[in-house]
Each structure stands twice: as structure tokens, then as C-alpha cells.
Amino acid sequence: MDKTKLHIPTARVFKPLLSPARYKGAHGGRGSGKSHFFADLMVDDCVREPGISGEGLRAVCLREVQKDLTQSAKLLIEDKLNAHGLSEANGFKVFKDVIETPGDGIIIFKGMNNYTAESIKSLEKFKRAWWEEAHTATPTSLELLRPTIRDEGSELWFSWNRRKKTDPIDMLLCGADVPTGTVVVEANWRDNPWFPTVLQLERENCLRMEPDRYDHIWEGGYVKAFKGAYFAKPLAEARAAGRIGNLAADPLLSYNAYFDLGGAGARADAMAIWIVQYVGREIRVLDYLEGQGQVLAYYVSELRSRGYQNALCVLPHDGVNTNNITGKRYEQHLEDAGFETEIVKNQGQGAAMMRVEAARRIFPQCWFDATKTEAGLDALGYYHERKDENRDVGLGPEHDWSSHAADAFGMMAIHYEAPEADREYAMPNYGRPSATGWMGA
């Protein structure tokens, strides 16, 4: 076989990745052919690399965690060798844990989490690094790899299905400022001219049975709902109904700011705040603020800078607690800053699930600004039950990064559903809801 004439059919979407580039990335959903493209490209580069010098290509196939070779790309590359009729006669020898390639080249398969600053030096003469499932890459692993693969003409390849904009690989290759020499494509099932019938059936089943996860699994969208999350279904319904999009505030209506309180220490819980207006029976969720380790003055400044200086600040029951540093109550701090406050009483035992159920009930009335509430929606989509897997027993809502946004949102729902008689209404203020409608509406 003429080593310069290994012709491999390539889907149009991947054509930009055929030219030399320092960083090559392909992200997208299931069935796009990302892994098949890079496996073919690896084989093709191994065939071409020896050139005049005869020195073979050294390549490493990576994952963040690889417990055994069944989790690696080794089997896929072996399949490509068979499909292209490449064997020992062409310089390829397959062993248990490595593949030797023409001209004393080699392909190895590793987990990046096993490397240290010292051991990573073993890859310094490698010219290709292909990282599968790169959405799991940690900042430390990327920082170790990038300066290590540095031979002239070396390339770093990444394939992944996006989860969050804040994942290190997305920030590196899809952010506002990407490294020089970066080529990234998005590929999904419709870009694959060889998309198999069996996957078409799976795609249609997913669209019908798991609509909340379909966009991430098949269309390469960011994860919007954790499987089994409390609000996965209502979020999917809101998107399908067009209730997540661009919202404009009504200048004649007041704002409500719903808080889940956090602390100012380095290890303190996050502070979460939803900004809401009530228009008829619509609940318009206009903005979301979150921070960790900041003093309350920071959030006061943020509210003012965003135009919410006249918002009614609705606090949970611990809003009457005193600040450990100042000795003042949270509500007093906000009142001193010129805000009106209101405290939602403690719901008592089972409060977390009461908030979940209240939020589910009012969700069909909610409209969200897609851009300003994106971080909060991500949290709502992830908020889920903690389980005893051995006994398949639910243990209540998981307390993690998503619970602060969910608690503040659930408290908004509780506040919305509170009996009309529990509140005093000033006729000019149309921002306080009742269970049946709007005072003054």
C-alpha cells in the first residue's frame, strides 16, 4: 500500500480539522462521528508521519480517568486499522496495551489523572494527544498537558459533549479568548452522512421519552437538567412553550428580590437572589445573582447597579439572625441601605420539599429571561434528590452548589402562594402576589 494514498471519507463538518493546527476540537451530541473522525485521523497521521526521516509518530490517547483499556479509544483504533486493511505488513503491531506504528512510532492510552508534574515529562517527544470526553478534563490536567506536547508540528485534539460553559475545556477552546492556532467544530447527528438507522430510533425515543435531556444528548447543547432533577420536566415544558427567552421589565411595576442567605467566609454557603416581577398571573423571573464569600454590601451594590434599588427584599426566616461581624440582623442591614424587607416564616419540618412542591405548582406561570437567569436555571435543572443507592431510598434534596438557587426560588413560590390575609398591601405597589391574583391589578 502506498502510504501517501490512504484516502478516508470525511464528513463535511470535519473538513476544517484536516489542516494542521495546534488545537483541534470537535464537540457535539451522540452519533455525530467525532470519535470515528479522530480515530481515522490518528491512523492517517501514523501512516504519513515517517516521511523521509523514517521516524514514526508518537501519540497518546487520553481521558481524565481511565481505569482500564476498555474505557480507552484502543478498540476503536484497532477497528480502523482493520477497516483500512492495515497490519504488520504496513508497520502496525497491536499489543495488549499499546499499538506500534510505522517507523518505530507508538500509540499509548492513559488517564491524565495518573500523571504528575514529573511523570508527564515522558510525553515530551509525543506529537499527537487526543483527549476523549474532554468535558471531564480538570484545569490541572490541561495545564500539565499543554506545555508538554511541544515538538514542532505537534497537535492537541479534544472531543467532547458540552456540559457547562464553565467546564475547563469550554473555557479554553470556546471562550471569548482562545489560544492561537485553534480550530473547533460543532458536529451533531445530522452532520453524519453515515448516521445509522439504529441510532435514529434511539434519538427518536429520547426525544419522546426524555425531552428534558434530548438537547444535551443529541444536539450538543449544554446540560439544562440533571436526570431525575426535581425541576427537569417543568423546565423542559417552559422551553417548549417559549417561556425562556428575552424579557423586558415593566417600569410601572415593583421588583421583588428573593434571597437565600449565605455568609462572608471562604467556606460559607453561596448567596442566591432571584429578581421577579408579577404581571397579571405571570411570574416574570428577570434576573439572578449569586456569589460566595462576599459581604452583604456587595449584593446591595449589585442590586443598585442593576436598577433594583427599590426592590422588596424577601428573606427566609434566618433573615432575623444577627451578622457575626456587625451584630446587626440581615434585614436591618438591608433596611439601613434603603430597602424594604419582608421575612418568610419558617415552614418547619420538611421545609425543603414544601419549597419544591410549591415551585412545581407555580412553574407553569413562570417566564424567564434566558440570559440573565442562565446560571440560576442551570442550578434549578441540577437540583435533585439525595439517595441511598443500596436501598433505593430517597433522603431529601441534595445540599450542593445548586441548592441555594433552588431554595431561593422555592421560597419565592411559598411567598407567592401565601394567603392574601397574611399580608398588608399598599394599593400603589402592584408587586406583591396573592394566591388568586394581584392586589390593584
Residue intervals in the chain for CATH 3.30.420.280: 244-422
Q: What is the mean pLDDT of residues 371-392?
A: 84
Give the pLDDT band (50/70/90) at residue 434: very low
In this structure, what C-alpha cell is assigned to residue 63?
481521558
- The 3-state DSSP class for residue 255 equals coil
Which H/E stretch holds residue 406? helix 403-417
Which H/E stretch holds residue 405? helix 403-417
End-to-end CA distance of the chain: 80
Q: Is residue 90 pLDDT above 70, yes or no?
A: yes
> Which one has a higher pLDDT value, 399 or 288?
288
**Residue spans of alpha helices (H) in 188-272:** 197-209, 211-219, 232-240
Q: Indicate the CATH number for domain 12-191.
A: 3.40.50.300
Nearest to 57 by CA among 132, 17, 97, 108: 108
Give the pLDDT band (50/70/90) at residue 420: very low
Q: Indicate the CATH number for domain 244-422.
A: 3.30.420.280
Residue intervals in the chain for CATH 3.40.50.300: 12-191
Q: What is the pTM of this model?
A: 0.65
Q: How far apart (Å, rounded) are the C-alpha atoms in residues 319 and 258?
A: 11
Give the pLDDT band (50/70/90) at residue 436: very low
Task: Mention every residue, 6+ apart, whose C-beta is less than 8 A from residue 205.
Answer: none
Give tens-digit pLDDT for 102-141: 999 999 999 999 899 899 999 999 999 999 999 999 999 9
What integer pLDDT is reported at residue 31 of this predicted model?
A: 96
